Amino acid sequence: MAYRSATAGIVPDLSTLTLGVEEEFLLLDPDSGRNLPVADQVLAALRGPARDQSRQEFRHSMVEMVTPVCADLGELRAHLVALRRWAAEAATAVGARLVAIGATPLAEPHLTVPDEPRYHAMSRRYGPVAHDPAVCGCHVHVGLPDRELAVRVCNHLRVWLPVVQAITTNSPLHDGHDTGHASWRSMQLERWPSIGPTPYFDSAADYDRTVDELIAAGIMLDAAMVYWYARPSSAYPTVEVRVGDVCPSVDDTVLVAALVRSLVATLADDVRAGVTATPIRDCLVAAAHWRAAHDGLDGELIDLRGGGTRPAWALVDELMAVIAPALLRHGDLGYVLAQLARLRRDGTGATRQRRVLERTGDLRAVIDDLVARTAAS
């Protein structure tokens, strides 16, 4: 990442903001469609860079794949294609199917946590909440080493993250049925005390003080359990946006990463220009996320800037108007416009799942379609 001097200190050159993505996947039984607890076997079957870029997750039926730091969308896309292919091959080798879906569609027979001290501590602290069926997200990291700037960018992100969430919705099913929500994953996660919209913070010191108080109160075990929808990463010099379901296809993921990177770049410009984040009541931000999880892009979203509800695609268009200059700077505008046109035509992951289920009446056909999309290049 390149840097340039500014009166506020050393700040990233917005034309070269880096990005990376973490994707979580379910492992499903090819016959029953139920979650299959073979994550350890899948991880053991990975070799070379694929093993280095994999992570154990909170469920025996989940694996996470992590891209390296990338400079452009082409590089990111190539890594995502390779990681999904390697993970799918390893899953097949142990008798499972790798599926990019946001929540367990049928059932999770094995609800124990992996044999790690941290996971056991979470199980003791949070009880049955820690034993819900598996859910899978997509986390986008954007390089922003100035932590003070990162905290202030997260304040500005509050009005836009429900729109990003709506774009990623990919988990309408639970227990074999349509839940009526485009993202059932979001509903499951609401029971965790440290997950939800990012609070407003006056500074990085305010952020740290609040996290320390939450840890002292027992809400979190440690700072790594800050699971807010946007946060300064606890492990990397990035802003991490973690509001979305895992996306069904690579191009869906790359689209979201491009939108998030240009949104962070745009808002960082605003912060340095002295623009303050719009103060919005936390209850309204939470309501906007609930509406995004319920409707996806097929209904209406709450407009946190203007008030009321509006068609979801009208807010996507507004988001594009705001970030178009940053997309152009990054060389991403043409790709994003093409992918949004595809999304408008084909629908979100949730919409696609519902169409297959309506057409076939068969959950296995939905899973077959998702498997094909997951590993397609």
Q: What percent of the chain has pLDDT over 90?
A: 94
Q: Please, are residues 146 and 12 in contact by the beta-carbon 8 Å criterion?
A: yes
C-alpha span between 353 and 366 (Å, rounded): 6
Of the candidates 127, 116, 239, 241, the one whose C-alpha atom is nearest the C-alpha of residue 193 is 127
pLDDT, greater one: 264 or 14: 264
Confidence category of residue 13, pLDDT binned at 50, 70, 90: low
Cβ neighbours of 125 (radius 10 Å): 15
Phi, psi dihedrals of residue 139, rounded to the nearest 5°: -115, 125
Confidence category of residue 3, pLDDT binned at 50, 70, 90: very low
Task: Please provide the average confidence, as pLDDT, over all residues in the chain.
Answer: 94
pLDDT at res. 338:
98
Going from the C-alpha of 125 to that of each of 215, 220, 257, 362, the distances in angstroms are 12, 9, 33, 38
Phi, psi dihedrals of residue 220, rounded to the nearest 5°: -125, 150
pLDDT at res. 4:
27
Confidence category of residue 6, pLDDT binned at 50, 70, 90: very low
**DSSP-derived 3-state class of residue 184:** helix
pLDDT at res. 16:
73
Tell me the pLDDT tens digit for each residue of 352-376.
999 999 999 999 999 999 999 999 9
Tell me the pLDDT tens digit for each residue of 292-344.
999 999 999 999 999 999 999 999 999 999 999 999 999 999 999 999 999 99
Residue 18 is encoded by which pair of tokens?
A: 């880096």
pLDDT of residue 212 exceeding 90, the answer is: yes
pLDDT at res. 278:
87
pLDDT at res. 9:
39
What's the whole-model pTM score?
Answer: 0.95
pLDDT of residue 15 exceeding 70, the answer is: no
Q: Please, are residues 230 and 198 in contact by the beta-carbon 8 Å criterion?
A: yes
Tell me the pLDDT tens digit for each residue of 107-124.
999 999 999 999 999 999
C-alpha span between 217 and 53 (Å, rounded): 34
User: What are the beta bridge partners of residue 70?
Assistant: 19
